[in-house]
């Protein structure tokens, strides 16, 4: 009795533990790691001989193995044997990591596999925005839904830069394009929203004095460094001041510091500390 040497085994995680062939027929025994077979399993496993009709197995060794037998002559050690099943293997799971800086990612399933349809949204934290698009980075090259090789897929950022979204059906991608893709990293980094510079009017009301240090343009976040100088034969008995109203209508009064000789007065005023807008008017 000889063994069968021309077997193609397409059953996952299985081992052919015994083969025999003689003038009366052939026999094959197969095991799957960690599995005990029942009668309900048997219709899913097949053996095809000489590319002919497949025949079904029977339980063997109390279900620890399955066995195919085929009666008849004309078989030998080189007879082509194909083992296969009709089971759909579970989709391969991917390792997923996230980097969320001043942002959150929503829509991520608890588990992601090679057939997951990802629909993700990144949301910037309050006071932050996406100056750069969030992205998905794959550890190996894949094909996107259009057949283009990629290792990185950018989110689409909204016009207000506060959210970003991406959609990719991994089932439409070839995650084994070059090497097997096993992991992806989702990165969303939002930056602090820069304050908007708003120009405001700065007027002067001078009597017997001059003001120096006024910038050509004054914004709501300008730091003013001003010097008032009394005209000849005059002095500051009352401190000059900056006056105006904030956006809530509250008065702002910022006095200069008068020099001991009363001939000059200075002030440093950080306008960003006050609620000003383009309608604010400050008078010196």
Residues 6+ away with beta carbon under 8 Å from 116:
91, 94, 109, 169, 170, 171
CA atoms of 160 and 156, how far apart (whole Å): 12
88 beta partners: none
Name the DSSP letter for residue 74.
S
- Where is the domain boundary, 85, 118, 146? 85
Mark whether 214 and 279 lie in a shared domain.
Answer: yes
Residues 6+ apart with CB under 8 A from 56: 42, 43, 45, 46, 68
The single residue listed with the structure tokens 């995650």 is 175
For residue 268, is it within any domain?
yes
Give the single-character DSSP code of 43.
G
For residues 55 and 145, membership in a common domain is answered with: no
CA distance 252 to 244: 5
pLDDT by residue for the chain (284 residues), tens digit each?
A: 799 999 999 888 899 999 999 989 999 999 998 899 999 999 999 999 887 878 889 999 999 999 999 998 889 999 999 998 888 776 788 999 999 999 999 999 988 988 899 999 999 999 999 999 999 999 988 887 777 888 999 999 999 999 999 999 988 887 766 567 889 999 999 999 887 778 888 888 888 998 999 888 888 888 989 999 999 999 999 899 888 877 777 888 889 999 999 999 999 988 888 877 655 555 55
CA distance 241 to 101: 44
What is the pLDDT at residue 88? Answer: 75
Which of 225, 186, 223 has the alpha carbon at shortest distance from 94? Answer: 186
Q: Which domain holds residue 214?
A: 199-283
pLDDT for 145 = 72
| Nearest alpha carbon to residue 166 among 125, 129, 128, 136 | 136
Q: Are residues 21 and 101 in the same domain?
A: no
Count of domains observed in the chain? 3
Q: Are residues 207 and 277 in the same domain?
A: yes
User: Which residue do the tokens 């009666």 mark?
Assistant: 71
CATH of the domain at 28: 2.60.40
User: In this structure, are 203 and 120 located in the same domain?
Assistant: no
Q: What single string gives the DSSP state of each residue in 197-262? A: P-EEEEE---SSEEEE---SSEETT-EEEEEEEEPTT---SS--EEEEE-TTS-EEEEEPEEPTTS
Q: Are residues 241 and 268 in the same domain?
A: yes
Task: State which of 173, 192, 211 marks the end of a domain.
Answer: 192
Placement of tokens 């969303």 in the chain: 188
98, two tokens = 């996230």
The whole-model pTM stands at 0.52
Same domain, 45 and 80: yes
Q: Is residue 275 part of a domain?
A: yes
60 φ/ψ angles, rounded to the nearest 5 degrees: -145, 145
């Amino acid at each position: 009795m000889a063994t069968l040497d021309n077997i193609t085994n397409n059953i996952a995680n299985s081992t052919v533990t015994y083969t025999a062939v003689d003038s009366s027929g052939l026999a094959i025994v197969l095991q799957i790691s960690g599995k005990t077979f029942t009668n309900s399993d048997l219709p899913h496993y097949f053996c095809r001989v000489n590319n002919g009709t497949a025949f079904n197995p029977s339980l063997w060794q109390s279900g620890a193995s399955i066995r195919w037998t085929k009666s008849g002559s004309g078989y030998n050690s080189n007879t082509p044997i194909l083992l296969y099943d009709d089971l759909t293997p579970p989709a391969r799971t991917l390792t997923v990591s996230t980097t969320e800086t001043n942002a959150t990612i929503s829509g991520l399933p608890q588990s992601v596999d090679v057939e997951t349809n990802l629909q993700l949204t990144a949301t910037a934290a309050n006071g932050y925005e996406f100056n750069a698009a969030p992205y998905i980075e794959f550890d190996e090259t894949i094909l996107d839904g259009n057949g283009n090789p990629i290792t990185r897929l950018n989110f689409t950022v909204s016009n207000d830069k506060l959210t970003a979204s991406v959609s990719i059906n991994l089932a439409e991608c070839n995650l084994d394009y070059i090497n097997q893709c096993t992991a992806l990293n989702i990165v969303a980094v939002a930056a602090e929203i820069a304050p908007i510079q708003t120009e405001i009017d700065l007027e002067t009301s001078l009597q017997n004095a001059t003001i120096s240090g006024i910038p050509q343009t004054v914004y709501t976040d300008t730091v003013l460094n001003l010097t008032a100088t009394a005209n000849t034969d005059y002095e500051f008995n009352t401190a000059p001041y900056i006056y105006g109203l904030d956006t809530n209508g509250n008065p702002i009064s910022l006095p200069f510091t008068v020099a001991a000789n009363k001939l000059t007065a200075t002030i440093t005023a950080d306008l960003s500390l006050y609620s000003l807008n383009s309608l604010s008017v400050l008078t010196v």
